[in-house]
A and B are shown apart, each in its own frame.
Chain A
């Protein structure tokens, strides 16, 4: 059982985000970390390989400046190796272009039975990449998985729905996007962190993957940002310390609104 996990390395969400004034894209030039949303896919992949009793987990990531910070975290969790696509030509790439990069990188992994992704990244959250990736690889896909089992070449998934969940299945190879909380991601052990330093990371460019400016980067995105402005701000109202009678204020507030 060989599993590929697409992971994104993002600016620390605890830091305030910023836009690059020239390119109008999210600033991603500082240190990047593993998107927490992707830690679930990495853990799921490790568990599936473990259950199958053989195989390995390969990471695929696209990031600026040869960033490997987040990849090392996932390698420390137990992934065997990584492919990193890093290229200045990729700045401004849209979700479809990102999927093209990831799809071509995934094709470099021999014998992949399953490709896992998060449902969306925590910084860009377009939420379309998993399905675009599956489309480009011409594979079946099941999105929004909250539980995954593999048996006899079939992946069985509990897929989130508005009302609850659906049991959905398809034959492997397939692309599955996992929701946060599908498994509890492990913390890398000290041994894992040390081992990760020597695990192979194969760095490639867009050209290595056969992609050019008609497909990736700003020129391939088929869109232009025409305006950026602060959204109308909501004004903060009264904030007060509870002295044991806050409930009374809430009750009268609800009365004024005729909710009660």
Chain B
């Protein structure tokens, strides 16, 4: 039994559709007869091909929002469609900054619950059933929507593989953004991109992350050097992001990025549930920590009980010696 129609909130930057969006569209094909996207950038035509190639037949586009934060106007535009009779059975959002904003605002507009942190989805009758994980990923909880639709679900990145469907470009249909009054007054006045070298955390085949065990901010240079030698992306635990050693964009975990690289190296990270949620899907995990009881060793394939200040420099030298 499949649902009739699912919408996916599409996110894109520089004309390229976000990976999570493509993952959700791919999964939605399995769950519903028709998959459509909702998009709030000015370049819907530019991404319609990629959305269509993954299975979305239509993209509802609000057009340029004039610098408004997307939550309020996009939720209002979706709610107006639904109130006008154009209602899907479910709407899927990636767990992103804007995904959370739009789903939260929309849940109030529609007075419908939104279920967060999902890693799997299925259909039971005419209801969406979500699988979420609690206790740092140790326990799976399946929750079924019981109210009338649309069912709103936030899904974590990398829960599904994105696969092309071979479909043609999605048809672009413009939808109106109603007047949002005082609530819609938040405006973006400037954008700042933090320069990063090497591959992005989400796409890297190898990730090297550092944690509090490094002892001081300056020692993060060891992580960066090792990452560079391995062509890896440098990452971090929440502890050292909160401490201001590295920018938030480096954070791997529940509140940061979800990564599933071929190799994940955790240096001086104890393995708080907050962190494990973001990395335990990695294919191979190497952990270096001085505390033999650290939870990180319960998920590592190769665990070194030792001092990162000795192991990392020795490893860096050995890799350099190989040329």
What is the interface of chain A, defined by CB distance below 8 A to chain B? 16-17, 19, 24, 26, 94-96, 99, 119-120, 122, 125-132, 134-136, 138-144, 146, 159-171, 174, 179-181, 221-231, 233-234, 236-242, 244, 246-251, 253-254, 257, 259-260
Contacts and interface: CB of A to CB of B under 8 A. Distances in A.
State the main secondary structure of chain B at its contact with A: mixed
A140 B184 contact: yes
Contact of B104 (A94, A122, A130): A130
B81 interface: no
Contacts of B190: 166-167
Nearest to B180: A140
Contact of B186 (A138, A142, A241): A142
Closest 7 CB pairs of A and B: A242-B306, A131-B104, A135-B108, A222-B147, A239-B303, A237-B301, A164-B194
Contacts of A143: 71, 97, 100-101
Nearest to A97: B113
Interface stretch (B26-34, B46-54, B56-64, B237-245): B237-245
Contacts of B304: 239-240, 242, 246, 249-250
Contact of A241 (B139, B305, B317): B305
B319 interface: yes
Interface stretch (B170-178, B211-219, B308-316): B308-316
Given A135-B183, A162-B249, A242-B304, A95 B255 contact: no
Contacts of B322: 251, 260
Would you call the interface of chain A mostly helix, strand, loop, or mixed? mixed
20 contacts: A95-B116, A99-B108, A125-B255, A128-B107, A129-B104, A131-B71, A135-B109, A135-B183, A138-B181, A139-B183, A141-B186, A146-B248, A167-B192, A181-B241, A221-B113, A226-B144, A236-B303, A246-B306, A250-B311, A251-B322
B298 interface: yes
Given A125-B254, A250-B304, 5 more contacts: A16-B135, A19-B139, A163-B194, A246-B288, A251-B318
Given A131-B101, A231-B138, A250 B303 contact: no
B319 to A, nearest CB: 7
B112 A230 contact: no
Given A231-B133, A246-B311, A257-B284, A225 B140 contact: no
A143 B142 CA distance: 28
A1 B303 CA distance: 52
Nearest to B135: A17
A139 to B, nearest CB: 6
B248 to A, nearest CB: 5
Given A128-B103, A135-B104, A257-B284, A237 B303 contact: yes
B206 interface: yes
Contacts of A120: 255
Contacts of B69: 141-142, 159, 168
A242 B307 contact: yes
Interface bin, chain B: 35 or more
Residue of A126, A160, A180 ringed by the most chain B CB atoms within 10 A: A126
Interface of B: 13, 69, 71-72, 75, 95-97, 100-101, 103-105, 107-109, 111-117, 124, 129, 133-135, 137-147, 154, 181-194, 205-206, 230, 238, 241-244, 247-249, 254-255, 262-263, 274, 280, 284, 286, 288, 292, 297-307, 310-311, 314-315, 317-319, 322
A251 B319 contact: yes
A234 B145 CA distance: 30
B319 A260 contact: yes
A221 B114 CA distance: 9
A180 B237 CA distance: 13
B182 A139 contact: yes
B228 to A, nearest CB: 13
A138 B184 CA distance: 9
Contacts of B262: 257, 259
A226 B141 CA distance: 8
Contacts of B300: 236-237, 239
A170 B185 contact: yes
A235 B141 CA distance: 21
Contact of A125 (B116, B248, B249, B301): B116
